[in-house]
Amino acid sequence: MNVSFLLQTKGGDVATISENRSVSDALHILRERRIGALVVTGLTGPLVGIFSERDAVRAIAEHGPDSLKMKIHDLMSSPVTRCTPETTVNELMGMMTAERIRHVPVVEHGALIGVVSIGDVVKARFEELEHDKKELLDYVNAR
């Protein structure tokens, strides 16, 4: 199973924020959209970083309440690990595990076409295992 299958299921909507916006702005978007990360856009391109809940927690722990006024650029995770639609789910799981990340932008021909979260990967893997289980039970019961 490839990342393209995950995007077909969930869609290619990507929540973004400019690197010049504040952490407070980012947190409002995360809450409103009920998501865990935003792709950060900037002057150098549409994918200059990722800002996640984890980045916000680190900022507050390090800078206190003043971090809410800081710019995303100062706190985002960068460089960004990316994948393509052809990346397999197993490869993606390996990348996420090795780099301890939960969100991976999907890029095709230099264009941002989606974001895959660890939740998307777990859901797809669970569905795949359920399908395999059903096929095995059908095979055993047919004997």
- Domains contained in the chain, CATH given: 3-142 (3.10.580.10)
Residue 45, pLDDT above cutoff 80: no
CB 102 within 8 A of CB 51: no
pLDDT score for 133: 81
Distance CA 125, CA 122 (A): 5
Token pair belonging to 37: 């990360």
Q: What is the mean pLDDT of the chain?
A: 91
Those residues with Cβ within 8 angstroms of residue 119's Cβ, 6 or more apart along the chain or in another chain: none
Distance CA 36, CA 55 (A): 10
Residue type, 35: I
Residue 1, pLDDT above cutoff 80: yes
Mean pLDDT of 51-60: 95
Residue 74, pLDDT above cutoff 80: yes
pLDDT digits over 130-140, tens only? 877 888 877 78
pTM, rounded to two decimals: 0.84
Distance CA 48, CA 126 (A): 32
Residue 82, pLDDT above cutoff 80: yes
Q: SS3 of 21, please?
A: coil
pLDDT score for 143: 67
User: For the chain, where are the E strands, in sequence order?
Assistant: 16-18, 37-42, 45-52, 103-108, 111-117
